[in-house]
Amino acid sequence: NIVFSAEDTGVGIPENEIEKLGKKFYRVEQHVREGSTDSDVVRPGGTGLGLYVTFNLIKLHGGTVSVESTFGEGSKFIFTIPKYTGQKIEVGKEGVKDLIEEYRNRRNTSS
């Protein structure tokens, strides 16, 4: 597997919200201090689709996603995808025509 990770020292994500990440249209509420007041202002940002699309693309590739976060300190996103080694296929001139024909047939039947 190939492992990717991204880490920040931002505001972090509350523990009870981590399991909700990646759900369609879900947005973590951002609590921001306004001016000199002591009250938090809640500002949801984004559409709630970015992590949904990202997490699903990773899963479609057979990968996994995990999130580590401490509220007030930052977050770390880790995802893995299987390493594709590929397969070498020798195809002669006639074989290429067969592959193109098979591709066209599949496209026409899936429409």
Q: Which pLDDT value is given to residue 57? A: 93
**Whole-model pTM over 0.75:** no
pLDDT category at 36 given cuts 50, 70, 90 is: very low
pLDDT category at 53 given cuts 50, 70, 90 is: very high
Task: Tell me the C-alpha distance between 52 and 109, whole Å.
Answer: 30
Q: Which pLDDT value is given to residue 56? A: 92
Residues 2-86, CATH architecture: 2-Layer Sandwich (3.30)
Residue ranges per structural domain of the chain: 2-86
Stronger pLDDT, 62 or 110, i.e. the higher one: 62
Tell me if 79 sits within 8 A of 63, measured CB to CB: yes
For 32, other C-beta atoms within 10 Å of its C-beta total 10
Structure tokens at 16: 């009870």
Stronger pLDDT, 19 or 42, i.e. the higher one: 19
Report the chain's mean pLDDT, rounded to a whole number: 80
Q: What's the mean pLDDT in 64-80?
A: 93
Task: Tell me the C-alpha distance between 68 and 18, whole Å.
Answer: 8
